[in-house]
Amino acid sequence: MSATRTGLSGTDRSSELRHAIDLTGYYPEVVADGVGTAVAGEPVVDFFLHHEPTFERDEVRRHLSVLVLTPTRLILAHTDEHPGDDLLPEPYTSTSTEAVRLSSIRSVVVTRMSANPTSGRPAVAEANMTLGWGAISRIDLEPAGCADPECEADHGYTGVLNSDDFSLRVSAAADGPDAVANMLAFAEALSALTHAA
C-alpha cells in the first residue's frame, strides 16, 4: 500500500499529479484519463493518492483512490481491477469519478490515533478522514432507555444521522511512514478550501 500527496501552493500541480499516478505503476494511462476528464482543465491545487490491495476470496486485487483539490471542487476517482466475467471475459479495470463542489462539503472529519500520547510530541500512527456532502446519509438507531434500571417502559428509539459519503483510513504500519502525515496535510488543505468556499 502506498500514499502520495503534494502540498498547497499557488501553482497548478497537474504535472506532479500525473507523475505521482505514473509512479504507482497501477494502470497509469487508465487512471490519468479518468482523473483528467473529471478535473476538466481546472488547476490542481493539491492531491492525495492511496493505493491498496483488496482481498476477495482467494484473490488479491488492487484499488487506487485519487483525491484531487481544484479551486472549486473535490474530485474523487477510484480504479479497481477485475478478473473476466460474463460480460467481459478478459481482465478489465473500472474507474469511477465524482466531482463535488467545495461549497457542498458539509464536514471534514479527521480522527487521529496517536501512539505514546504522554510523550512530548506523540506520533500519529493512524488516521481516518470522513467527508460528507449529503449524497449518502446513514441512520444508526438503538432502543432508548432511561436512568431507572427497574424501568420496563418502551422509550422508543434514539439515533444518529450520519453523512459519510467518503471515508479513508491510512496507517503508518500498513501504508508507510509518510502516508499518515500526507493524508492529514491533504485534510488540512481541504478544510481550508471548504472554509473559504
**162 three-class SS:** strand
Backbone angles phi, psi at 184, to 5 degrees: -65, -40
The answer on pLDDT for 6 being more than 70 is no
Q: Which three cell numbers stand for residue 135?
A: 449524497
Residue 2 is predicted with a pLDDT of 47
Confidence of residue 11 (pLDDT cuts 50, 70, 90): confident
Residue 103 has pLDDT above 60, yes or no: yes
Residue 62 pLDDT greater than 90, yes or no: no
pLDDT over 90 percentage in the chain: 51
Torsion sign across C-alpha atoms 177, 180, 183, 189: negative
CB 64 within 8 A of CB 29: no
Q: Is the pLDDT of residue 18 over 50?
A: yes
**Amino acid (one-letter) located at 166:** F
User: What is this structure's pTM?
Assistant: 0.78
- Cα 115-117-122 angle, rounded to 5 deg: 70
